[in-house]
Structure formats: structure tokens, C-alpha cells
Structure 1
Amino acid sequence: MTATKPHQDWTTAMWWTLHRDKAALLNRPGTHHKSLIDGANALHRAHLIDRDDLCELLELADAALAYAVETLLDVRNAE
């Protein structure tokens, strides 16, 4: 699942599935973050979520990116 396809019909369930995909997050944090952001914005544009929900999803996407960066730094420092 990726948000890079403009014709992608996002659902909240798809967004949450992507959000929980830690393997994808840690493999490509920047790409994963962009997909979460794009998906959240697509949900808002489709009127499936309101602006408060959009704000929450964007904050969760940022938190996921921060988690990935910290985790990857910890792994590198432990080596």
C-alpha cells in the first residue's frame, strides 16, 4: 500500500494499517512518513475525516517518524 498513486482510494482502516507497519517504517522512514501524510490528506480531501482528525493523524505520522529515527540511531550506536 502506498499513497504515491493519485488514484488511491484511502480509507481510515488502510491508514491505520500503514501506521502500524513497523517493518516498513524502519526500512524507509521518510517514504513511510510521506505515505502517512499523503494518506491523511487524502482522507481529509475525501471528507472522510474532519480537520481535527487530520491534525491527529499528522501528529501520529510525525511521531512515527521520530520513533523510527530514534530507533535507527539506537541500533547504530549499539553496533
Structure 2
Amino acid sequence: MNVSGFSKGGATDAWNSLLHDHEALLQRPGAHHKLLVEEANSLHRRELIGRDELSDLLEQADGALAYAVEALLDEHHDE
């Protein structure tokens, strides 16, 4: 995903779609988290979001990573 061609609303919608892509998140949590962080920073650099919104997106990205790690640990524990 590249947010460069989006308006503010479209870019944040695209970012949220990426955030909620549970299949990609669980398949490659680290890479997915990195992409979320990179895209959030891109939105901020392009001044589509402010500092506070960037902080919120980064917090959500970190929460998604924590969720994925916990889910994968639970999955392995159940086996």
C-alpha cells in the first residue's frame, strides 16, 4: 500500500484497511507492523495527518503487533 495518491480521508481509510487486514498481520506480524509504521509516517510527512493523529496510528500499529504475537503464542500453546 502506498498512500501517496490519496486525499486525507482516503489515505487514513486505506491505512485503517491495512490495520484491519488480520490475515496479513498474522502471517507476517513484524513486516505488517513495519508497513503500518512506514505508512503512518508517510501520512504525517505529507501533512495529511497531524502529530496527534500520527501518535494514535503508531499506537494502533503497536497494539496490532502485540495482538498478533499473543495470538500466535496462544496458537502454538494450544498445539
> Does the TM-score normalized on the shorter chain lie above 0.5?
yes
User: Which ranges of structure 1 fall in alignment gaps of 5 or more residues?
Assistant: none
Match of 2:75 in 1: 75
1:24 corresponds to 2:24:
yes
Indicate the RMSD between aligned Cα atoms, in angstroms. Answer: 1.2
Match of 2:58 in 1: 58
Match of 1:49, SS state, is coil
User: Which ranges of structure 2 fall in alignment gaps of 5 or more residues?
Assistant: none
Q: Deviations over 1:25-70 (max 9, x none)?
A: 0000000000000000000001000000000000000000000000
Match of 1:46 in 2: 46
Taking structure 2 as the reference length, the TM-score comes to 0.89
Equivalent AA in structure 1 for residue 16 of structure 2: W
Taking structure 1 as the reference length, the TM-score comes to 0.89
